[in-house]
Amino acid sequence: MKLKYILPILFISLFNIACSSDDDTPIINEIEDLLKVQDIINNTHTIELYTKSGMFYTGYNEVSIRIKDNTNDAFFENATINWMPIMQMMTMQHSCPKSSLTKAEGKDTVYTGFVIYQMTNADGSGWSLTFTYTINDVEYTVTDTINVMQFDNQNVTSFMGSDDTKYIMVLIEPDSPKIAINNLKVGLYKMESMMAFPVVENYTITLDPRMPGMGNHSSPNNTDLTYNIADGMYNGDLSLTMTGYWVLNLKLLNEQGIVLKGEDVTEANTQSSLYLELEF
């Protein structure tokens, strides 16, 4: 009777010992905690795209990239990579804000950057990614279509300011919001042309988070967002008093303090025309 219980335990422990003895030379997995979005392949190389979720969504996407040699399945450590996302529309095409791609800190084969898709088609189609990269002074290029899914909440917004400039604003942090004072990080870009989206510096973004489901409940100790030269983004404190659906009501002010977009939340006006959404 007792043997019935002891035997499986014995087997399990033996099995564990057997397994663990294999791990003498641990191989560092450079893509740990990342999921592959897709491979983009040309004749010589395979470009592997990774994100945390294994998908591209509208809004801010942190992307990790490896380039594999198709001949020997080895990853290059000395590439210089440029990329260009393009949205093909009926009559025109445009790009979106993005960073450059640089070698990930502490890794040999992984290059990282971010891309901010401001919109997508309902079925996720329309976007393509072109990589132009140099390995050992030889330039290669590869292009493929990608799928960008619409994120449930408004985590990115593009709008026309009162200065007749088109801006793109994106929520970057909190990545996993908490009932606490969260660090709110927002990116702000100017649409200079269809292909150029430079960072807008030294503006101010006021913040008023609300819960429409709770009679537009707000929270204390929020701070306005100010520009941080170090990361080229806007940072502030965001207090979230409970989990649920939050609307971050915002106002964008330029260096002279002139409101370019957004209104105060009042009894009559329950939401600013400039806002981002958050759910947790």
- Residue 271: CB minimum distance to other proteins, A: 14
Binding of other proteins at residue 192 (CB under 8 A)?
no
Nearer to other proteins, 25 or 221 (CB): 221
Q: Please, which of residues 233-262 interact with other proteins by CB under 8 A?
A: 239-245
158 has which bridge partners?
Answer: 168
CB of 61 to other proteins, least distance (A): 22
Q: State both tokens at 89.
A: 């529309």
Residue 181 interacts with other proteins (CB under 8 A)? yes
Q: Select 71 or 221, whichever has its Cβ closest to other proteins.
A: 221
Strands of the sheet containing 45-51, edge to edge, are 35-41, 45-51, 59-69, 111-117, 102-103
Burial call 94-114: b when 16+ CB within 10 Å, e when fewer: bbbbbbebebbeeeebbbbbb
Residues 5-34 that bind other proteins (CB under 8 A): none
Where in 45-74 is the site for other proteins (CB under 8 A)? none
Residue 178 sits in the site that holds other proteins (CB under 8 A)? yes
Chain Cα centroid distance, residue 28: 25
Neighbouring residues of 236: CB distance < 8 A, sequence distance ≥ 6:
183, 184, 186, 205, 207, 222, 223, 224, 225, 226
Among 179, 195, 196, 258, binds other proteins (CB under 8 A): 179
220 contributes a contact to other proteins by CB under 8 A = yes
Rule CB under 8 A: is residue 270 a binding residue for other proteins?
no
Q: How far is the CB of 124 from other proteins (least distance, A)?
A: 20
Residues 235 and 228 sit within 8 Å (Cβ to Cβ): yes
Q: Which residues inside 199-218 make contact with other proteins, applying CB under 8 A?
A: 211-218
Binding residues for other proteins, per CB under 8 A? Answer: 178-181, 211-221, 239-245, 279-280
